[in-house]
């Protein structure tokens, strides 16, 4: 398993349709070419990609990893994202639903306590109103839980406070912070500010103006996945 911190990327398109034309589906994965990332990367390095648009306030957040590095006349990196419901909805346009609050990708180990049961999961994204936690196991929607972040950084709150299960997803759960509790409200705001500060240093790029004119886009050919995975012994 790759334990290096995820690299944060931002990419700006003019319209959601341009994003759809740049997500290449292959063998259950959505591939995206990020031009000239200006950071040192290797196969398997985890990434979070936030996509924004000129024509709308909508944002798309994707979690994935580095697939291959390209040099030469078109330097860049192919990123891969599991073809989850989010990427499928992005492709057919149904996933562009306005969210009340912005989500930011993050990573931190988090302790969850519910009814004398204790588990450790991984915080993968956060908003002012809630979060998504991976690998935490089953939680009960009728009971509140207490969240503690296991990050030795004074900018992060050590205890977020109270939350409740909203829905279970494949490999993760979505929780809502109980902001009617004053301590939870303050801690959730501090948590979001800490993650937002991390994103302020993210690598940013924009869609080239000459691309997608007349339906033609200038991504290089996606890598041959089977040969690539054989080379890296991925099954």
Per-residue pLDDT tens digits for 193-227: 999 999 999 999 999 888 888 777 788 888 776 55
Percent of the chain residues topping a pLDDT of 90: 46
In a domain, 213, yes or no: yes
User: Looking at the 3D structure of the chain, how many domains does it have?
Assistant: 2
| Chain segment 126-148, per-residue pLDDT in tens | 999 999 999 898 889 899 999 99
Q: Kindly indicate the confidence band of residue 3, based on its pLDDT and cuts at 50, 70 and 90.
A: low
Query: Among residues 43, 31, 187, which one has the least CA distance to residue 110?
Result: 187
* Shared domain check, 111 and 191: yes
* Shared domain check, 134 and 64: no
| pLDDT surpassing 90 at residue 235 | no
Give the residues across from 173 on adjacent strands.
133, 168
d(CA 132, CA 125): 5
The pTM is what? 0.81
d(CA 36, CA 64): 18
In a domain, 113, yes or no: yes
Give the residue numbers spanning the domain of 123. Answer: 104-198
| pLDDT surpassing 90 at residue 159 | yes
In this prediction, residue 234 carries a pLDDT of: 56
d(CA 36, CA 39): 8
* Shared domain check, 15 and 81: yes
* Shared domain check, 111 and 32: no
Residues whose CB falls within 8 Å of the CB of residue 17, separated by 6 or more in sequence, listed in order: none
* Shared domain check, 90 and 20: yes
Q: Are 162 and 178 in contact (CB under 8 A)?
A: yes
In this prediction, residue 47 carries a pLDDT of: 93
In a domain, 145, yes or no: yes
In a domain, 1, yes or no: no
In this prediction, residue 1 carries a pLDDT of: 42
In a domain, 123, yes or no: yes
In this prediction, residue 32 carries a pLDDT of: 93
By CB atoms closer than 10 A (0-12, 13-18, 19+), residue 1 is exposed
Write the CATH number for 226. Answer: 2.40.10.220
Q: What Cα–Cα distance (Å) separates residue 198 from each residue in 106, 152, 158, 160, 194? A: 9, 15, 17, 18, 7
Supply the mean pLDDT for the chain.
85
* Shared domain check, 175 and 157: yes
* Shared domain check, 64 and 38: yes
Query: Among residues 164, 177, 16, 23, which one has the least CA distance to residue 97?
Result: 16
In a domain, 2, yes or no: no
* Shared domain check, 111 and 194: yes
* Shared domain check, 92 and 54: yes
d(CA 216, CA 167): 40
* Shared domain check, 129 and 84: no
In this prediction, residue 93 carries a pLDDT of: 52
In this prediction, residue 101 carries a pLDDT of: 76
* Shared domain check, 113 and 160: yes
Q: Kindly indicate the confidence band of residue 84, based on its pLDDT and cuts at 50, 70 and 90.
A: low
In this prediction, residue 201 carries a pLDDT of: 92
Output helix, strand, coil percentages for the chain, rounded to the nearest 5: 20, 40, 40
pLDDT, greater one: 92 or 8:
8
* Shared domain check, 207 and 223: yes
| Chain segment 100-113, per-residue pLDDT in tens | 678 899 989 999 99
């Amino acid at each position: 398993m790759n334990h290096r911190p995820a690299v944060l990327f931002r990419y700006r398109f003019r319209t959601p349709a341009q994003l759809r034309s740049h997500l290449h589906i292959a063998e259950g994965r959505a591939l995206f070419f990020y031009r000239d990332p200006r950071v040192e990367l290797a196969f398997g390095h985890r990434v979070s990609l936030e996509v924004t648009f000129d024509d709308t306030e909508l944002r798309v957040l994707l979690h994935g990893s580095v697939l291959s590095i390209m040099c030469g006349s078109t330097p860049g990196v192919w990123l891969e994202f599991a073809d989850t419901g989010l990427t499928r909805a992005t492709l057919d346009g149904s996933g562009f639903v306005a969210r009340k609050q912005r989500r930011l990708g993050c990573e931190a180990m988090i302790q969850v306590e519910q009814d004398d049961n204790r588990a450790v999961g991984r915080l993968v994204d956060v908003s002012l109103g809630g979060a998504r936690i991976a690998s935490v196991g089953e939680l009960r929607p009728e009971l509140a839980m207490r969240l503690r972040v296991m990050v030795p950084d004074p900018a992060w709150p050590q205890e977020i406070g109270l939350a409740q299960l909203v829905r279970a997803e494949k490999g993760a759960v979505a929780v809502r912070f109980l902001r009617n509790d004053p301590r939870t409200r303050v801690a959730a705001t501090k948590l979001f500010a800490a993650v937002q500060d991390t994103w302020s240093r993210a690598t940013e790029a924009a869609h080239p103006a000459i691309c997608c004119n007349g339906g033609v886009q200038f991504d290089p050919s996606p890598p041959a996945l089977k040969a690539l995975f054989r080379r890296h012994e991925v099954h």
